[in-house]
Structure 1
């Protein structure tokens, strides 16, 4: 069970906030993203290999992957790791996971990338489900932009 509180709101469902990453992990990602383009995906993948629950890392691997199935795979892993992380932080399958919370963005980027690349590979029903889920998690639509 998580030590993270469930944030209840008088205006709707509870909000879950993914804990922020450490400064060391942020630094490692920043260094990997600063490598030459031809080495960048490999460098980010090395960071994620050491930290497989690192959602922002998975989102960056997806961003650095070839369009289609390669990107789809990275975003899908990040999405499922994100669901595990949300559940470990008191999320019970519904409620907000807002883009405004920086620590939620890795997961939301994975979900948005999964929607985009599901569409590219012809998985239209999955793309639609992902789009709908994004809006349920953050009705502002910021994660979809």
Structure 2
């Protein structure tokens, strides 16, 4: 499958938020839960912060919490995409740092949906991610965050 944009819809490039990335990076070596929760409180519209919180819950096998956090990140991401000019279709390149929080939230929601047996949502989110950028799922699964 080609990653060429056949729809003619321009890619969406969201604004990067280095403050969120720095706050999340600061969690290493500290009380991770406190840092993650504080980051979400300080940046509640950040899909990246919610995605990382969802990933943390997933790592603890807290599937319902992971799903809930990822669902918030997904909705925050949709809000950001719409503000960024996205009209419900078109590329959202993983290679652009500002887009990674949205795509990571979609991935985390997809993973958690699979974990709770929500198969229709898994299929829909897979299509969404592949439509946004076919490189996103392989990049996330390879640890390219």
TM-score of the pair, normalised by structure 2: 0.82
Given candidates 52, 75, 80, the residue that maps to 2:75 is 80
Change (3 A) 1:137 1:12: same
Structure whose residues are more often strand by fraction? 1
Q: Determine the C-alpha separation between the residues in 1 that align with 2:84 and 2:29.
A: 33
- Cα deviation for residue 10 of structure 1 reads 7.8
TM-score of the pair, normalised by structure 1: 0.82
State the SS of the aligned residue for 2:10: strand
| CA-to-aligned-CA distance 1:69-93 (integer Å, 9 cap, x gap) | 1111111100100000000111111
Structure 1 residue 59 and structure 2 residue 51: aligned? yes
- Cα deviation for residue 11 of structure 1 reads 7.2
Change (3 A) 1:94 1:10: closer
- Cα deviation for residue 12 of structure 1 reads 3.3
Which position in structure 2 is the counterpart of 1:108?
A: 103
Structure 1 residue 43 and structure 2 residue 35: aligned? yes
Structure 1 residue 34 and structure 2 residue 28: aligned? yes
Which position in structure 2 is the counterpart of 1:139?
A: 134
- Considering only aligned residues, what root-mean-square deviation do their CA atoms show, in Å? 1.9
- Cα deviation for residue 41 of structure 1 reads 2.2
Given candidates 6, 11, 17, the residue that maps to 1:15 is 11
